[in-house]
Amino acid sequence: MASILVTGGSGLIGSNLCNLLKSKGHSVFVLSRSKTKKSNTFYWNIDKNYIDKEAIINTDYIIHLAGAGIADKRWTTARKKVLVDSRVKSTNLLFQKVKELNPNLKGFISASGIGYYGAITSEKTYFENDTPHNDFLSKICMLWEKETAKFNSLKIRTVIFRTGIVISKEGGALEKIIKPIKLGIGAALGTGKQYMPWIAMEDLCNMYLSAIENIEIKGIYNAVTPENITNTMFTKITAKTLKKTLWLPNIPAFILKILLGELAIMLLEGSKVSSEKIKKTGFKFKYNSLENYLNKTLN
Ligand SMILES: NC(=O)c1ccc[n+]([C@@H]2O[C@H](COP(=O)([O-])OP(=O)(O)OC[C@H]3O[C@@H](n4cnc5c(N)ncnc54)[C@H](OP(=O)(O)O)[C@@H]3O)[C@@H](O)[C@H]2O)c1
């Protein structure tokens, strides 16, 4: 059984993942910006280049999920810096500490996002070897992945999951989609034709687990289900599951842009993303259909 350090382990994905890893018998530790007396939580301060040494020296794997919430606030210049630094500077700090303390680290596994491919609506399917786009989200992902790749220079197995929209009944995107539908004011966004590559929380956590158990998994993988659905389809399936009627026209793009600023492109654009590479490792998705997943989790 392995000793695993999860940065951002207190978050939506992290807390689910920690529970799964513990249930498989692993020793799980969280690296957090909050000082706590919990025996399984270590402290770090990214701005001060500080990490509790004990967090690093006995760890077999680091799973790096920490990062300020991408869709939590408008993307002002200051907010953009927080979004980048919380991912890139944090990765660099982990790299520097691993280099300095030289633990017997067997793997560094990091989140990234399908935002790497850019906020573009098209019929193209994006694969792991596609080049990044040049908008803000692509830049964050590119810088984050570049920093992560430094672990290769220490001969440490490195895995990156370019994650789609994580669907979970506990929060995140689904909560925001469900709220207006329950209130009877749900509607598709913009043209509604943008794809929404998604992944069920359970499948994503199982993917991280498989990255620990299967040493053949190395490099970059898209973490999305094989199903390609548009925003209109997503909205309709969610309403159907909740037994609610959609009667409003699509919410115009300009309204979302006024309300959210540049961040609105995350909601208004999207293409298909391939899951072939992770499937070739033998990984099996439990949920290939949003309808089945929502029926199971919401009803
Ligand atoms: N959820 C999705 O749909 C999705 C999709 C694609 C990619 N991802 C990526 O997956 C990772 C985890 O996502 P999540 O949904 O679990 O996020 P989350 O619930 O917001 O949790 C992220 C964690 O990161 C830490 N954090 C927050 N702000 C930070 C900052 N300024 N500096 C350093 N650490 C900070 C927090 O831990 P402490 O307070 O304990 O320090 C927090 O619990 C993120 O990097 C996210 O970008 C998520």
pLDDT digits (tens, 9 = 90+) for 97-156: 999 999 999 999 999 999 999 999 999 999 999 999 999 999 999 999 999 999 999 999
- Each residue's pLDDT tens digit, 165-182: 999 999 999 999 999 999
DSSP H/E element including 219: strand 219-223
Mean pLDDT to the nearest integer, 292-298: 94
pLDDT exceeding 90 applies to what percent of the chain? Answer: 98
pLDDT higher than threshold 90 for residue 93? yes
Give the start-end residues of each E strand in the chain.
3-7, 27-32, 41-45, 50-51, 61-64, 107-113, 125-126, 157-163, 165-168, 171-172, 198-200, 219-223, 272-273
The CA 151 to ligand 1 mean position distance, Å, reads 21
At which residue do the structure tokens 């951002």 appear? 8
Does ligand 1 come within 6 angstroms of the Cβ of 103?
no
Does ligand 1 come within 6 angstroms of the Cβ of 68?
yes
- Each residue's pLDDT tens digit, 221-235: 999 999 999 999 999
- Each residue's pLDDT tens digit, 146-160: 999 999 999 999 999
pLDDT higher than threshold 90 for residue 38? no
Does ligand 1 come within 6 angstroms of the Cβ of 178?
no
The CA 68 to ligand 1 mean position distance, Å, reads 5
Does ligand 1 come within 6 angstroms of the Cβ of 33?
yes
pTM for the model stands at 0.97
| Structural domains of the chain, with CATH | 3-298 (3.40.50.720)
The CA 69 to ligand 1 mean position distance, Å, reads 6
The predicted pLDDT at position 299 comes to 84
Closest CA to ligand 1's atom 18? 11
Number of C-beta neighbours around residue 53 at 10 A: 13
Task: For residue 155, give the 3-state DSSP assignment.
Answer: coil
Does ligand 1 come within 6 angstroms of the Cβ of 105?
no
Specify the ligand 1 atom closest to the Cα of 14: 16
Closest CA to ligand 1's atom 21? 11
> Which residue from 72, 91, 84 is spatially nearest to 141, judged by alpha carbons?
84
Does ligand 1 come within 6 angstroms of the Cβ of 270?
no
Widest distance between CA atoms in the chain: 59
The predicted pLDDT at position 39 comes to 84
Specify the ligand 1 atom closest to the Cα of 13: 16
> Which residue from 72, 96, 93, 92 is spatially nearest to 83, judged by alpha carbons?
72
Pairwise CA distance, residues 181 & 135, whole Å: 30
Contact 165, 199 (CB under 8 A): yes
Closest CA to ligand 1's atom 9? 111
Does ligand 1 come within 6 angstroms of the Cβ of 205?
no
| Token digits of residue 282 | 């033998």
